Amino acid sequence: MALTVAIHQPHYLPYPGLLDKLDQADLFIWLDDAAFTRGGWQNRNWIKTHHGRHLLTAPVVHTGRQERLTAARLDYTLGWQNKHRATIEQAYARAPHLNLCDDLLNLLYAPRTWPTLADLNLACSTELARILDVRTPAIRSSRLRPARAAKTARLVELCREAGATTYLAGDGSRTRYLDTTLFEQAGITLQWQNYQPPAYPQQHPKHGLLDNLSALDLIANLGPDALPALRTRRAPASAVAA
């Protein structure tokens, strides 16, 4: 039976392209045991405020060593949860569908602590998928067999364990790290996502249309039309030539 699998690290307040990738797959694997990289997108993302782009970062405790997302601990000494919620609510106060994000904000910014960055990000992405009505089943890589490979070989390993016939790859991996020959050798068809950011009415129009903000921006502005907007802009996934 054909099975399209997508794999991605969980991100904090992820951009719509990640949710689009989730929506296109038959099975999604959250790569939650990937290494945490400072300065990347695992613990931060953009929203749009009256000043323009604004970066929200969930601070991670410095330990002096590289850790997995499943071990990276959040720094709660900085009061970031209240600051993030206040910034979001102020930025989207006039957004027509901000109320759809109430459960998300309550989940992320309630007076509680998340054990790890992976736990925060997975809760965030799962709730965003629920709001969008994306129903793709998902599993955590940390709950599968321990990794025996790295980089592309790790993705192939996970695809094999899941029984994938096709791997849906994000566009950013075209030029960065993906070794396409390993999928060919494994008998797994490789397809590119071909994500196209949707154009939609945003708050604070003086700053123009900003792409690749958090999916929260898309939902707050479009509400029930958010997922159709993603699907309408979707270019057909393209197979990699042998």
> Nearest-CA neighbor of 210 among 52, 1, 92?
52
DSSP for residue 241: P
Residue type, 48: K
CB atoms closer than 10 angstroms to residue 73: 14
Q: Are strands 189-192 and 238-239 parallel, antiparallel or unpaired?
A: antiparallel
* Interval 145-190: pLDDT, tens: 877 878 999 999 999 999 999 999 988 776 567 999 999 999 999 9
What is d(CA 66, CA 35) in angstroms, rounded to the nearest whole number? 7
CA torsion angle 77 54 233 107 (round to 10):
30
Classified as helix, coil or strand, 141 is helix
* Interval 210-238: pLDDT, tens: 999 999 999 999 999 999 999 998 876 55
* Interval 27-82: pLDDT, tens: 999 999 999 999 999 999 999 999 999 999 999 999 988 899 999 999 999 999 99
Indicate the pTM of the whole model: 0.93
Match 């970062």 to its residue by tokens: 57
Residue 171: C-alpha distances to residues 136, 139, 192, 216 (Å): 20, 22, 6, 21
